[in-house]
Chains A and B, each alone.
Chain A
Amino acid sequence: MRISTAGTFSSAATYMMGRQSDLAKLSTQISSGQRILTPSDDPAGAARVIELENTKARGDQLRINQTSSINTLSQAESFLGNIGDAYADMQDILAQAGNATYSDSDRKILAAELAARRDALSGLSISRDADGQPLFGSRLVRVSNSRELDVSLNSNALFGRVRDGNGVFAASADSANAGATSISAGTVADAAALDGNSYDIVVHDNVGVLTYDIINTATTATVSSGNAFSNGGTISVAGMSVKITGSPADGDSYHLMASTTRSVFQTLDDMIQALKAPVSDDVSRAQLSANIAAGLAQLDQAAETAHLTRASAGAALKEIDTLQAVNAVQDEQLQIQIAGVRDLDYTKAVTDLSQRQLVLDAAQRAYSKTLGHSLFEYL
């Protein structure tokens, strides 16, 4: 085969340029540390890197959300703890006020103390978190790609909608009662028998023998009548049990009403009024202790609500803790995966580089030998 001289030179140039561009690409890869310089180097890999980096960025964002919600939830938790403490303090004050040896003026002091606690509680109810956001409000937190945590705190539910009585029904003595008695908050003896109706217990003094009737207030039908009354004995109706202690007068009545909701501030205001009222006789004393018992029961309910809310905040915190751990592992995995797809295998790259260098070197030597000779040297 004839070999054209110009062709030999140009093919040598083309070949060596090809090797040099390989070398240039390898050195760019080595200096950038990345295997994929443009998507065409590995289209599927480049797309995978985009997906993985996006997932990682989302993970980073979720971590910020998780941290922020941990802050919010921890604050809410400690705040709910404070509320629980405030309720306990108020219950202490109320219990003290029930002390028979206290005078009207002692109770007034306690009333003033209770009023101060009430104001402090109302201050707590408009708390804001460290970011200046209200603790009470509708809040969602996206804590994982598929989970939105509702961390809303509803001030209405916490303060405004506290059930009275024992949470199911409220037992009270009629304010017109002549006898010095008190009625317990009562318990649910048979949940299945609860019918949501209100009942009155009316005591009759039949020449020294005390009996009581039970009347359904909605229908005014008498449920039972002529039951023997015993001081401190259990009276049961429609699954509800109460105890009346003391000696009721003829016609004294007691009300068992299905529990409704009231604001805890309303209850506290009522308590403050009740403590301020002077106690002059057994009847008003009984009235006071009935009021205190009702107040204590309602504060119990409020404390219970705060406690349950705190428990759910705690559960959310625990969930986020778990998610954070999972997230950290995922982040590490993603980092490894991204590196695996995008990053350069240095050992291979450096080996390739020296191999190509060797080839280029050999080619250069070969060409300089073959191209360096011509017949014209002998002419």
Chain B
Amino acid sequence: MTGSLLQVALSGIQAAQLGLNTTSHNIANVNTPNYNRQVTSQSSTPPVYFGAGFAGSGVRVDAITRSYSDLLTGQLRAAESQSTRSTVYAQTVDQLNSFVGDSNGSVTGAMSDFFGALQLVTTSPGDAAARQAVYASAQSVVQRFRGVDRNLTQLRDDINQRAENLVTDINSRTQEIADLGTRIVAATASGRPPNDLLDQRDAMLGELNRLARISVTAQADGSISVYLGNGQALLNGSIAQKLAMAENPLETAAPTLGVKSGSIVVSLAGNGEVGGELGGLLSARDEALTSVTVAVGRMARVFTDAINERNHLGIDPAGNAGGDIFAIDPPVAAAAASTSGSASIAVTIIDAHALKASDYRVDATASGYTVTRLSDSQQQAFASAPITIDGLRFDVTGAPTTGDRFGVRAVSDAVSTLRLAIGDATKIASASSLRIDSLSANKGTGVASVAIDSDDPALHDAAQLVFDGAGQVTITTAAGSTVLAYTAGTPIVMNGWSVYMRGTPAAGDTFQLDANTNTDGDNRNAVALAALETSEMVPGMSFNGMYAALVVDIGTKGREATAARDANEGLATSVGAAREAISGVNLDEEALNLMSYQQAYQAAGRMIGIANNLFDTILSISS
């Protein structure tokens, strides 16, 4: 009887000891991340039959289990990967905001200085110092553009490098999880959950999940399958897939995520769905960074084209026709690695003002070509080359095979080739290349002036304008005579020039239009150059408007990213708190547990004393 009393007391001591042990394990792990509070579950041992009935035989500890919720862990993973993704995205967009919003380094500031310097040239076209200022500010326009481009390229390289590192990290973590999985499967076979191993795996999954969003399905044997956010299987029991960044020569040199199959990397669709840090980086690169890059690239192309075109229409102080002030390489088309035909594409800009802020993809189809504008994924089919779209012309040489694919970097890598085409300030064509004068025999009061509107093959052809005094003017050039109507106050427009009349020309009055040779004091083309600042460059926008639109775009993206980051952080925090409510350690609770197990232990110990006393009593009777 006492024997069993001692047994009962011992079972109580053992249970209390395990309880104390578990409690102190909990206390020790109060600050361990991802730790799941452990609890002992105990039950009374089967009773022993006596004549009078069943007598209790003590207590036993059934299991030590984790306070763990599958549902909340899954929710927490989703929230955490979302939060990491938006944090990384917001960081990148923040950086872009500082490149774009920095008024000291902004392109628009340099452009404003450039046009300001041109204005100074208009006030004194012969002044070498004023011209030097134009040259210096043209240099700083190039430097600012290149500076922005350097920042953007560096950011892109950083992102690609980080993505590369993350992929390596993901691969090694997946392998670790697979290795741990085999130990868990072995331990689970014992019938009791290996709590701390499971915690360890959960912690590793949590960390993996921050790199890229994962979903986890558990099997009864303790093994798990892990899937990426875009559905790609990452781990299947103990078999881990290897990820890699795949080169993508088509679109702005942006490697995409792929799966290694032997030595080949198969690109995965849906890079934006990857989530986590990797997903955040890739979507920041493909959405925000690309939209800034193409917008700046388009600006550089339009700017270069507009300034050069106008400079061509004037003559410099030496009397030479104006040339290019800025130079920029033409767009390039790259063939995808899978391309099998012999075709290549040459790209020409036919109208810079019609350019869109986008690159293009050209797919050869059975019925011709499909051109995709990457900024809005809009597709257009063409039966044959040359293809003209958005101010660009694609000339195809050679025969493409159906399925061949080409990437056209129309604007995205434009800035890296932007440079000055002039070596000094004398090449700014400040004077107009045309002049008009009245003949001395003229009887009327008419005074003519000429403005150049656009480049025309016949622009510089000498012309004689003879007024008939009755609303008509005959224009005679080497190509023949043309009769136009003349209304006072309305310019006479031909061959790219406009002649404005003041006063009234009499019948027979003649004006001679010639190539200008006297540049002294002539500032007419400089005025036209300076006026480009406020002219419409692309539909509805001046240079400044283009830049402001870019600022609005990236600013809005930044604002959205910050809002999304805060919201996702809030969500992750609240889901985390819900998980903590179940799995977290509360020290006060553990203190109470400690006291309660201590008291149980003390009471059971007292039981042993009593059993001892009882035994002594029996012994004293017999002696």
Contact = CB atoms under 8 A, between A and B. Distances in A.
Nearest to A134: B521
B584 A2 contact: yes
B122 A40 contact: no
Contacts of A259: 443
A140 B524 contact: yes
A136 B577 CA distance: 83
Nearest to A154: B447
B591 A156 contact: no
Contact of B531 (A57, A142, A196, A375): A142
A145 B555 CA distance: 29
A261 B594 CA distance: 121
Contact of A3 (B545, B581, B595): B581
A246 to B, nearest CB: 31
B124 A139 contact: no
A150 interface: yes
Given A61-B116, A133-B124, A140-B523, A46 B580 contact: no
B455 to A, nearest CB: 20
Nearest to B436: A138
A43 interface: yes
A375 B443 contact: no
A135 B116 CA distance: 23
Contact of B585 (A5, A39, A375, A379): A5
Interface stretch (A6-14, A107-115, A180-188): A6-14
Contacts, number: 195
A273 B151 CA distance: 77
Contacts of B518: 137
A139 B523 contact: yes
B76 interface: no
B123 A14 contact: no
Nearest to B569: A14
B568 to A, nearest CB: 14
Nearest to B441: A260
Interface stretch (A47-55, A207-215, A236-244, A290-298): A47-55
B181 interface: no
Interface stretch (A62-70, A329-337, A359-367): A62-70
Which of A47, A132, A150, A161 has the largest number of chain B CB atoms within 10 A?
A47
B491 interface: no
Interface string A356-374: 0000000000000000001
A152 B558 contact: no
Given A7-B576, A68-B123, A142-B119, A54 B112 contact: yes
Contacts of A69: 123
B552 A44 contact: yes
Given A6-B584, A140-B523, A46 B101 contact: yes
B189 interface: no
B543 to A, nearest CB: 9
A374 B587 contact: yes
Interface in A142-182: 142, 145, 148, 150, 152, 154, 156-157, 160-161
Interface residues of A, number: 64
Nearest to A160: B440
Contact of A40 (B545, B558, B588): B558
Which of A54, A141, A157 has the largest number of chain B CB atoms within 10 A?
A54
B559 A138 contact: no
A65 B555 contact: no
Contacts of A220: none
Nearest to A37: B101
A156 B586 contact: no
B62 interface: no
A138 B528 CA distance: 13
Interface stretch (B90-98, B168-176, B252-260, B359-367): B90-98
B400 interface: no
Interface string A20-48: 00000000000000000011111110111
B117 to A, nearest CB: 10
B119 A51 contact: no
Contacts of A196: 443
A4 interface: yes
Contact of A39 (B108, B431, B554): B554
Nearest to A15: B573
A58 interface: yes
Contacts of B549: 47
A258 interface: yes
A157 B439 CA distance: 10
Contact of A136 (B521, B556, B562): B521
Interface in A248-295: 258-262
B525 to A, nearest CB: 10
Contacts of B591: 374-376, 379
A39 B577 CA distance: 34
A3 B586 contact: yes
Contact of B124 (A57, A131, A140): A131
B297 interface: no
A1 interface: yes
Contact of B97 (A7, A38, A62, A374): A38
Nearest to A140: B527
B530 interface: yes
Nearest to B33: A6
B424 interface: no
Contacts of B544: 50-51, 54
A157 B447 contact: yes
A138 B122 CA distance: 11
Interface string B98-140: 1011010000100010011001101111110000000000000
A212 to B, nearest CB: 27
A142 B520 contact: no
A258 B101 contact: no
B522 interface: yes
Contact of A4 (B438, B521, B559, B580): B580
A141 B442 CA distance: 28
A37 B124 CA distance: 39
Contacts of A154: 447
B101 to A, nearest CB: 4
A234 to B, nearest CB: 25
B587 to A, nearest CB: 5
Nearest to B534: A145
A6 B431 CA distance: 77
B112 A39 contact: no
Interface string A60-81: 1110110011001000000000
Nearest to A139: B523
B108 A50 contact: yes
Contact of A50 (B441, B547, B559, B562): B547
B144 interface: no
A307 to B, nearest CB: 14
Nearest to A66: B123
Nearest to B447: A157
A150 B287 CA distance: 49
A6 B588 contact: no
Interface string A310-334: 0000000000000000000000000
Given A39-B554, A132-B124, A1 B581 contact: yes
Contacts of B93: 40
A172 to B, nearest CB: 18
A375 B588 contact: yes
B31 interface: yes
Given A7-B580, A57-B112, A261 B441 contact: yes
Contact of B30 (A6, A72, A152): A6
22 contacts: A1-B581, A2-B586, A6-B585, A7-B581, A38-B558, A39-B101, A40-B94, A40-B561, A43-B554, A47-B551, A57-B112, A58-B112, A68-B123, A68-B124, A132-B124, A135-B521, A137-B520, A154-B447, A260-B441, A261-B440, A374-B587, A375-B592
Q: Which 4 A-B pairs have the closest CB atoms?
A: A4-B584, A40-B558, A43-B555, A39-B555
Given A54-B108, A140-B524, A161-B440, 12 more contacts: A7-B576, A7-B577, A38-B555, A40-B558, A43-B554, A44-B552, A57-B116, A58-B534, A68-B124, A148-B531, A154-B447, A262-B440
